[in-house]
Amino acid sequence: MTIIKIQVKKYRKIIKSVIICFCTLLIIYLGLSIYFSNHFYFGTVINGINVSAKTVEQADEEIASSINSYTLELAERGDVKEQIKATDIDLKYDSEGKTQTLKDSQNSFGWILELFKTETSQMDEIVSYNEDLLKEIFNKLSCFDINNVIDPKSATVEYRDTVYEISEEVYGNKVNKDILYDNVVNAIINDEKIVNLEDIDSYEVPMYNKDSQEVIAAKDTLNQYLTSKITYTIGGASEFLDGSTINKWLGVDENFEVIIDEDKVADYVDTLGSKYNTAGRTRDFVTTSKVQTKISGGNYGWIIDRYQEVQDIIASVKDGQVITKEPKYSSTTIAHSTNDIGNTYIEINFTKQHLWFYKDGAIIAEGDVVTGDISKKTATPTGVYVLNSKEKNSTLRGEDYATPVGFWMPFNQGIGLHDAIWRDKFGKEIYKTNGSHGCINAPYELAKVVYENIKVGTPVVCYYE
């Protein structure tokens, strides 16, 4: 009996102790629950700030203090760093009740379940700032200083020695203002401490880099063009055109389309023309009177067809052709020789006012003529010309005349040989005071014989002895 009483007594003590412990723990639990009804849980972090066991007011003070000392760092290329401080933009904390809302989300009786946890929260848009001040400080950032800015530059294709090679692009450090500004504003609003300009893709980039297909294709095309070789045979002379000259005509546009500068090609053709065109050049000529004279001017001779030759060169270059050719000519003579007039031509001696028509070396017709009036300053120009055309029964027109003629043979624009039935005399010094408007007036029969025997393209030699 005694043993049973002892055991009962022992059990009662245990139960009493358990009840006391339970009540103590319950009191502690309820006490802390009451405490956490207006305090944050242990391990609560808001916007990177530890607010464990703090009231909403205390948490707001901590966050406000942090915002007042806020500094946004801009990490730029070249290890350059710039800062925008809270004081620069009048940055202020304004939670608008968000801290209280966050506290209310923590059940005061659930603190024991969060005792050994860390609860990290982020409150966005809890600040205000002076937009004008921000724009002012933003625009003064050194990354916008024109003295510091290096513009991006696409890769280039450059001619070196004998080939085109690609030069790498330049990335520079030019910043897109709109992109950076939006990210700065977002960082300030969301309490972010660093904006890396590289990470937000705020730098302007070259349109093309060394690996761009357009750049590689342009290089290949340019080098193909350089393989073209043209050997010109002009009379007994030769001219060579190859990549050493062609490269000076080539380029690429903004889209890396290869272009050939037609003006520069035309300059090259002009160089050929200045060397080999013979029209208008001074010629040695032996007159019917056996006098050797020099005659310059006129349109008779070899003339390289500028437009057609430019087009031919461009086509050859684009095809990478290796060819031997003559230039295209707009005017030719019987031969590339000293005597390119030959033995079929009209000879007009202005001093003697006399015309001879030679065909295959024989005189077919000759006679006196009347040339342009010297007193009226309509003298016929000297030179060696080419007969442009021939026409029967034509009407010659000027400012103050319209004259029908039976045979019209122009050789110098509006100047030509024709019959003049209104004249009863030819030759001598008539041309000095009663000459023509510039044409060669001939007796009807002389004009008729010449017309019937001459071909278009025949040289017309005009000179004073």
**Residue in 143, 437, 439, 462 annotated catalytic:** 439
**Residue in 39, 354, 418, 437 annotated catalytic:** 418
Task: Return the C-alpha torsion angle 301, 302, 303, 309, nearest 10.
Answer: 170
Q: 160 CB contacts (<8 Å, ≥6 apart)?
A: none
Distance CA 299, CA 458 (A): 12
One-letter amino acid at 103 equals K
Distance CA 265, CA 262 (A): 5
Nearest to 323, CA basis, from 242, 236, 235: 242
Using alpha carbons, list the distances in angstroms from residue 419 to 286, 412, 440: 27, 17, 8
Q: Is 439 a catalytic residue?
A: yes
Helices 306-319 & 262-276 angle (0-180, nearest 10): 120
Q: 447 CB contacts (<8 Å, ≥6 apart)?
A: 405, 406, 407, 409, 417, 418, 419
Distance CA 136, CA 114 (A): 46
- Helix, strand counts (H, E) of the chain: 12, 28
* Per-residue tokens: 285: 């000529």
Distance CA 333, CA 337 (A): 9
Running DSSP on this structure, what letter comes out for residue 427? S
Q: Is 418 a catalytic residue?
A: yes
- Identify whether the C-beta of residue 261 lies closer than 8 Å to the C-beta of residue 247: no
> What three-state secondary structure class fits 335?
coil
Q: Which residues are catalytic?
A: 418, 439
